[in-house]
Amino acid sequence: MPLSPSRYAAVMREYDRRRADAEAKADAFRAALYEKMPALADTERELTSLAVAQMEARIKGRPFDAGKDAEAREAIRVRRARLLAASGLTEEDLRPHYQCPDCRDTGYIGNDRCHCFAVTAASLRPAQPEMADILKRENFGTLSMDVYDNTTVLTPPGSTVRAYMMGVTAGLVQYAREFSPRSESLLFTGPTGVGKSFLMHCVTAELLSAGFNVLCYTADELSRLFSRQIRERDDEDLQELDEAIAECDLLVIDDLGTEFGNSLDATKLFACINERYLRGKPVLLSTNISMDEAAVRYTERVTSRIATYKSIPLYGQDLRRSARKG
């Protein structure tokens, strides 16, 4: 799905903002350092006047001793490095620290989009601004099996939660690795706090960094977006929401059944899920309500579509609550 011109402009504005931010921080750091160390400031001034002299010589056609110039520069650089080292710094510390060093926060490497582009674009979608932060915390790299109990054998699944989760995780790593916009849909079920969201975020992070277009919402966010969509008719992003949801490579809906207030409208939910189904595009869905409850809440049309998803039941204790206790 190509980005709309307005979304593309928003992504490029975000890169401009990041670059300006990194450069402003570097400038402020350098200015503060130069104030403390005038001798260091001198070295920069000397390097600048050498560059100016060289340019002048070229423009005015004056003779220019390149060897002598290189020697002078090298001497200044050595002095500068020594001064920096005395403060435990290197030239690198004075350069801007870009969020993505690969593209220096431009979004592009040559003519190709940088690997960070998809994540940046996703982080700017409606209700997605926190997603980038969440995905930094919750991905296969940060997923730890230590949080899962390895002492009690549960039936189901007939093993400890840890052993079971290792199997589930291996399956999801493979799912992400072999992912295509034709992959199967998955349904994560189980009580609150057993890691459903975390696992879906792992897959999301993996696919975003592979350049896939993933939209990830909680049912609550989605429900709020749909109500705003009706109210805010001139918000282009919101008006594009249906198409974005239908067309993205993977749609993730977290925590179906827990949305508050105006619960996710059954007709809207059916439209999302049915459109994906008709287009043969995958959905990751998590819920802690049973399919019977879901049928009552969202109609059987919805649950009959969800019934085609591959079910991944999760078991165990509420990890968030036990973490709070311990």
Residues 6+ apart with CB under 8 A from 300: none
> From the CA atom positions of the chain, what is the Rg in Å?
27
CB of 234 to Zn ion, least distance (A): 32
Of 71 and 102, CB closest to Zn ion: 102
What's the burial of 318, exposed, middle or buried (CB within 10 Å: 0-12/13-18/19+)?
middle
Residues in contact with Zn ion, counted by CB under 5 A, come to a total of: 5
Angle (deg, nearest 10), helices 196-209 and 161-177: 20
Of 112 and 146, CB closest to Zn ion: 112
Of 18 and 80, CB closest to Zn ion: 18
Candidates 11, 40, 84, 116: give the one binding Zn ion (CB under 5 A). Answer: 116
Q: How many CB atoms sit inside 10 A of residue 249's CB?
A: 21
183-207 residues labelled b (16+ CB within 10 A) or e (exposed): bebbbbbbeebbbbbbbbbbbbbbb
Site string for Zn ion, 61-100 (x = CB under 5 A): ---------------------------------------x
Candidates 56, 71, 74, 102: give the one binding Zn ion (CB under 5 A). Answer: 102
191-250 binders of Zn ion (CB under 5 A): none
CB of 14 to Zn ion, least distance (A): 12
Using rule CB under 5 A, residue 122 touches Zn ion:
no
CB of 13 to Zn ion, least distance (A): 16
Candidates 103, 124, 225, 306: give the one binding Zn ion (CB under 5 A). Answer: 103
CB of 197 to Zn ion, least distance (A): 27
DSSP 113: E
Of 73 and 113, CB closest to Zn ion: 113
Of 100 and 251, CB closest to Zn ion: 100
Residues, the chain, total? 326
First to last CA, the chain: 45
Distance separating alpha carbons of residues 243 and 222, to the nearest angstrom: 14
Of 103 and 314, CB closest to Zn ion: 103
Of 121 and 256, CB closest to Zn ion: 121
CB of 323 to Zn ion, least distance (A): 33
312 token code pair: 């991944």
Candidates 11, 40, 114, 314: give the one binding Zn ion (CB under 5 A). Answer: 114
CB 228 within 8 A of CB 261: no
Distance separating alpha carbons of residues 136 and 208, to the nearest angstrom: 12
* Contacting positions for Zn ion (CB under 5 A): 100, 102-103, 114, 116
